[in-house]
Structure formats: C-alpha cells, structure tokens
Chains A and B, each alone.
Chain A
Amino acid sequence: MDAIKVSGLSFSYDGKKDVLSDVAFSIPKGCYTTIIGHNGSGKSTIAKLLIGLMSPKQGSIEILGQSLNEESVYKLRDHVGIVFQNPDNQFIGSTVADDIAFGLENHCVPQEQMQDIIEDVAGRVGMLDFLNSEPTKLSGGQKQRVAIAGILAIEPEIIIFDESTSMLDPQGKASINEQIQKLHSEKDRTILSITHDMEEVAQSEYVIVLKDGHVVLTGTPMEIFAHEKELASMMLDIPFALKVSKELTKEKITNQEVCTLEEVVNQLCQLKSTI
C-alpha cells in the first residue's frame, strides 16, 4: 500500500495563477523521499495540502489508502506529522516542555508517560537543558530542534519535514539527520523531506523534483543526478561526493559512480585492499 498517493493535483492561492498544476506521485510505505526544487516551486504548498490544511483545486490525495477529505482529515492527522519551515509560529507551549507536551496531549498519551517521553526526545535533539525555557529566549535553530522533538515524541507513521533543519549548525544538522534516518530504518516510518541539502537527497531512496509547480523528475538519487544540466538550470547542484566520484571514474580509479561520501570512502578502501 502507498503511504501517500497524489494524482492530478492542482492548487491556486488566488484563484488565478496555479501554484501547483497536475502534480502526481506516489510514495510507498516506509520510503525515505526527498522533494527538491527552487524557491517558490510549490514544495511547502504540497506539504500543506498533504496535511489537509487547504483543499486542492483539482485532483486527489490518498493517505494510507484513504482519500483525504473534510471527514477523514482529523483521523488521518493522527498518522501524519509535519515540521514546518518557520519555527517561530509552530511553538505553541509557553516552555519547551509544554510545547513537546502539546502534541502528546492531542494524541491522548497518558499523563504518567509524558515526562519520560519529553526528557527522552529533548535529549535526542540536544535540548534537555532548555526544558523550562520560553520560546522568546531560544534561537531559531533551537526552536527547530524543539519542533523536531515534538514530532519524535509522537512518531507518526508519515512524517513531513519542510526544510526543518535549515537553521541548524552543521553538527546539529548531522545529528538530527541521524535521528530522522533512525526513525526511517528502525521504526519503518515513511519520511517526506523537503530540502535544499543535496547530501540529504543523496541519502534518500526516492526524489521528486519540482519546477514552477510541476513535477519534472522523479527517481532514485542516482537517476536524478544523471540530469546534471537540467538540475543546474533549476539552480540545483549535485552533491560533492558525486562530483568526486565522477572524477574518480573518469580517471578509471573506480568503475562506478556513487553519490554519498560513505560509498566513495568504501570504494576507496576496497581499492586500497586490492592493491
């Protein structure tokens, strides 16, 4: 069964200009998908439609095999979580602990379990020392960490991240990405991540490329990165590891192009052992 299935989706904010037109894709359960595209290509709009905050002009959305509509939206939201782009306006509690608790309260988690969960997830995003801090006393990146902790606490079946690590320092980004990977590999969650980070795209299983509200490419990271020229025309770059790998294959040092740093290192290590 597909976790998300979108077909013929069109949307317009003002009723005149279509921000999305005829978007279609499907994401199998347990798949780690990334969506890339230039600023204003409609990525966040797709996210808002998937969580049922707005209704499409045309087309249909199916979540876990159920069609998303006015009646099913509240029920389906139990299974879908999202971390928005702007961390300021999704902080609802008056302290970090209260904010993480907000989602737990909505999902009717028993009170006795809450404190443990809150401490656990706050620790995982490195915010344990800030449990009693107010949002105005936190930096943008710290607020993003709290928002991610909020979703880790719920662990919904489908999780959408809308550029939710954009304000983190490189180390923070790496550790949060690791948490997301864990949710995917250990808990088998379906992840849909909207990102500009090509290294993260390389690590995903499926990529959707958006341009001016159209889906222009879909496929595995390697399939997408093969269209280097087209990506460049959309201001998108290929990951550094792939560039290195390309040079290595050109020089006949390795014989297969790969796109993550890990794989390049593996290839080189094997090379060394064969010498």
Chain B
Amino acid sequence: MVMNNIALGRYMPLDSVIHHLDPRAKIMVLLFLMIAVFIPAGAVGYVVIAAFIVVALFLSKLQISYALRAMKPMIWMMIFLLVINTLVIKTGTPWIQWGWFSVYSDAIYQTLYIVVRLMFMIILTTILTATTKPLDLTLGIEKLLKPFEKIGLPAHIIAMMISIALRFIPTLIEETQRIMNAQASRGVDFENGGLKEKIFSILSLIVPLFVSSFDRAEQLANAMEARGYDPNRQRTRYKVLKMKTKDIFGMAMSVVILGVCLGIWIL
C-alpha cells in the first residue's frame, strides 16, 4: 500500500553504460545540467538539454514508464502552480475571458516554463539514483567533497551519515509494516474511520516506531564502535573509484551543453 511509492529514486540493477560510469562523473554531469536548466536559454537550450536526457535515458536501459512514474507526485504541484499563475499573472494576451475569470498567455507560458524545468531536474536525478548504487553515490559525494575537508568540512562523516541512512530505509519500512500488522491484529484500523480514529491509528504506529528506532540507533552505534569505528581516525576504503575515458567524455558533453546555454543567454 503506502510503501510502494518508495520505489521512486531507487536503484535499478540493470547493466548499462550509464550504470558503469563513475559516480563522481555522474554527479558532476547532474550538477552542470542543473545549472544549465536554470539558465534562461529559451527553446533552443531546452531542446539541447532534452536531447541529452533522451540519449542518457536510452543508454541507461531504464523504462520510460519508470521515469514518468517519478513525475507522478508532481502532478498536484503542477495543477496548483497553474491555478496560482492564472489567478496572479495578468500579462500577455488574454486567451479566455469569462466575466471576472480570465486566463492570460503569460500565465500558461510561465507555468510551462517551470514545469519543464522541474521535469528535467526530476528525470536527471532519477537517472542518477536509478543507475548508481546508494553506496557508490555516497562514495562519489565523499570524494567530491574531499577538497573541502581543508576548510573543516567533515566529508567522510557526512558520507557515513548518508550511507547509514540509506542502509536503514528498507529496515525502517520493514519495521513500519511489522508494527502496522501488529497493531492491526490488535484491532487498530488503518484504512477507515474518522479524523479521530485516523489520528489514533497513526499515533499507534509512530510511537512504537520511534521507540524502536532510538533503540536500534543505540545498538547500531555500539556495534560500529565495537568494530573499531572512530570518526576521527584514518580508515582505508574497500571501494575505489577510477575515472575512465567515457566518464571524461560524459562530463565534457555536459560542459558543452552548459556552454551552449550560457552562450545563448549572454549573446
């Protein structure tokens, strides 16, 4: 039920060129393209970015439906945006005029503009998270943040935090399911009932979940310490990253796109 939505942003174990790219390269590409998306480079810019996304999506062997599903939670936001924009923006040519209610062209353009940007960003992030194992992603982030360690940013601690969080998401989902079943077997109804019943049933889920999570966190910290983890000490790493030609090529492509967008904007 509720849990199925979490499929979003999950790693898809396929075998594709994109999967085998260096996580650092993929993060950099994402970064460059995100910047490009925000440069007002008009239709040409968007076509270039869209072309890149289509190629990347194709190479990643991900199903189009998977990428589209990632967009589903956005529909409400888009509708909300559209309503607000039609009510607020009253410039451009009026397209509809019914008494007090009017829709202007700029409202529609403005909405489309934001929606396209959001779509690009979501698809790009989806491609990244679906083709990169969480642990590789963390490792990539850690390595990219490494230079900032000199100014006091604890890159390896941040990376450890992210990877522990990622490791425990499935466990917490499992736990939630278990508590829901346990409470349901004691007569708590999660599906029906009025507001009061709903609040009660959610509380009956949240409270034990918190208690067990804190307990788990303590035991986990104990286990980490007992196994010799000391955040202030040097550690070796099991996974190493190696940049290959295709990684450089990918990053170069995204830099070119960023350059094109910048060029159009400035000229």
Contact = CB atoms under 8 A, between A and B. Distances in A.
Interface string B212-241: 000010011011111111100111111010
Contact of B222 (A48, A78, A102, A110): A48
Contacts of A135: 167, 170-171
A53 B220 CA distance: 12
Interface string B37-65: 00000000000000000000000000000
B167 A78 contact: no
A82 B135 contact: no
A86 B219 contact: yes
A103 B135 CA distance: 16
A231 interface: no
Contact of A89 (B220, B230, B240): B220
Contact of A106 (B134, B163, B219, B227): B227
B238 A104 contact: yes
B149 interface: no
Interface majority SS (helix, strand, loop, mixed), chain B:
helix
B87 interface: no
Contacts of A268: none
Contacts of B240: 111
Interface residues of B, number: 29
Interface string B164-191: 1011001100100000000000000000
Contacts of B167: 92-94, 135
A150 B226 CA distance: 12
B224 A92 contact: yes
A106 B230 contact: yes
A74 B224 CA distance: 12
Contacts of B133: 94
A136 B164 CA distance: 14
23 contacts: A51-B226, A53-B225, A77-B225, A81-B226, A86-B219, A88-B171, A90-B220, A90-B223, A92-B164, A92-B227, A93-B167, A94-B134, A94-B135, A97-B238, A103-B227, A104-B236, A104-B238, A106-B227, A106-B233, A111-B236, A135-B170, A135-B171, A154-B228
Interface of A: 48, 51, 53, 74, 77-78, 81-82, 84, 86, 88-90, 92-95, 97-98, 101-111, 114, 118, 134-136, 150, 154
Interface of B: 133-135, 163-164, 166-167, 170-171, 174, 216, 219-220, 222-230, 233-238, 240
